[in-house]
Structure 1
Amino acid sequence: MPELHAPIELQGIDLHGLQRLLDSRQLPPIERWNPPHCGHSGMRIAADGTWLHDGEPIRRPAMVRLFSSILRREPDGTHVLVTPVEKLSIDIERTAFRAVDMQVEGDGELRRIAFALDHGDPVLLGADHPLVVRDGVGGLSPRIKVRHGLEAELSRPVYYELAELALADGSDGVWSEGIFFPLDPDR
């Protein structure tokens, strides 16, 4: 069976082309599904992004991408995997996703920044996917909002790339899609 939710690679694609791909992608309408809660899935997303079931890593990337497409954060802060007929809890140690790569086009206010996430989807930093920097255990936790209340924590190398952009601009933040995103959690 062919994979319906293949990853989108950042490398070799301009960010306008990336936006067209993202606009054409259809994810399940999980925001409209409200089935009864059926228990715990036996799944956990570790702090390093590893998806586990009953303590064992899920080794098939296509399965992780499938599960990530039906994952959402509930208003009470819990995370669930949801289908039209059932809702199962899933434990998440830090964030649902990690931003593992970054691509930049343009400069200053005209800059566009895209992040590749560990489950195969990219996001463009902007109004729909803002950057937030939180104080966390062990220091700052820079995150980008993804979808359905989920966030992707920027890996340390990606955050350093972002900080280098800010330093090169002589600023305490970065521009993307015409919006300024401070890298200081107190701003």
Structure 2
Amino acid sequence: MSNIELKGFSEATSSVLPPVHTWTPPFCGDMDMVIKANGDWCHEGSKIKRPAMVTMFSRILWFEHGEYFLMTPVEKVRIKVDDAPFHVNRWQWIETVCGRAIEFRTQTEDVLVLGVDCDIWMGFYHEEERPYISMRYGMKALVGRNVFYGLAESLAEVETSQGRGVGVISAGKSYLLMQDA
């Protein structure tokens, strides 16, 4: 088991995205950390209860070849992710230069605009169909049930390259969520 060295990182800077994509540290082993399917971040079997600590770790999360890592400029440790490392827990309509758009917020205070910063799709986790949005570095966020039910009020008929059906339109872009039979 490995523990990651966090010198130079503090909770005060947890809202800033470090340039993880520019770092090439050596792999240092596995860390006993799991991001559970319900969004809980656990270390050595115990839930991390400080949201600022979870947010800090989320800023150095990296996805590569189907695996997740925490990275600093000097080391890279593998962690386990059951489903999606991020969870969308809030949303609202906003006005953008591309028109009316849906703004999502994750539990780690990431802010993404559907059609600008991210896309939405339906995927599966253990045979359960769930909504996801795209995140940085090829990662994804699970759209919380409360958020998805809120979006249901904004469903419209859409046509995309995947077909016709019901979905949402955000920033001028259509997303098919349920295809016509």
TM range (shorter): 0.7 to 0.9
Give the drift of 1:185.
7.1
Counterpart residue number, 2:147: 158
Looking at structure 2, the residues matched to 184 and 69 of structure 1 have their Cα atoms a distance apart, in angstroms, of 33
Identity %: 37
Counterpart residue number, 2:176: 182
Counterpart residue number, 1:9: none
Higher strand share: 2
| Cα deviations by residue, 1:69-119 (Å, 9 ceiling, x for unpaired) | 000110x1000001111000010011001111110136xx83210111011
Give the drift of 1:34.
1.3
C-alpha change, 1:185 and 1:121, in structure 2 (3 Å) is: farther
Counterpart residue number, 1:93: 82
* Residue 49 (structure 2) pairs with residue 40 (structure 1): no
Give the drift of 1:157.
1.5
Looking at structure 1, the residues matched to 151 and 86 of structure 2 have their Cα atoms a distance apart, in angstroms, of 18
| Cα deviations by residue, 1:139-184 (Å, 9 ceiling, x for unpaired) | 3121111111111101112112222211xx3451111111111113
Q: Does the Cα contact within 8 Å between 2:11 and 2:56 map onto a contact in 1?
A: no
Amino acid at match of 1:33: W
* Residue 91 (structure 2) pairs with residue 102 (structure 1): yes
- What's the C-alpha RMSD, in Å, of the aligned pairs? 2.0
Q: Does the Cα contact within 8 Å between 1:134 and 1:185 map onto a contact in 2?
A: no
Counterpart residue number, 2:12: 3
C-alpha change, 1:185 and 1:71, in structure 2 (3 Å) is: farther
Looking at structure 1, the residues matched to 12 and 148 of structure 2 have their Cα atoms a distance apart, in angstroms, of 31
Aligned residues: 162
Q: Does the Cα contact within 8 Å between 1:163 and 1:183 map onto a contact in 2?
A: no
Higher helix share: 1
Amino acid at match of 2:38: D
Amino acid at match of 2:47: P
Runs of at least 5 residues in structure 2 that lack an aligned partner in the other structure: 1-9, 159-165
Q: Does the Cα contact within 8 Å between 1:143 and 1:151 map onto a contact in 2?
A: yes
Give the drift of 1:68.
0.2
Structure 1 segments of 4+ aligned residues over 3 angstroms from their partners: none
The one of 98, 117, 122 equivalent to 1:128 is: 117
C-alpha change, 1:185 and 1:40, in structure 2 (3 Å) is: farther
SS of 1:35 mapped into structure 2: coil
* Residue 51 (structure 2) pairs with residue 57 (structure 1): no
Q: Does the Cα contact within 8 Å between 2:11 and 2:53 map onto a contact in 1?
A: no
Runs of at least 5 residues in structure 1 that lack an aligned partner in the other structure: 7-25
Q: TM-score, normalised by structure 1?
A: 0.79
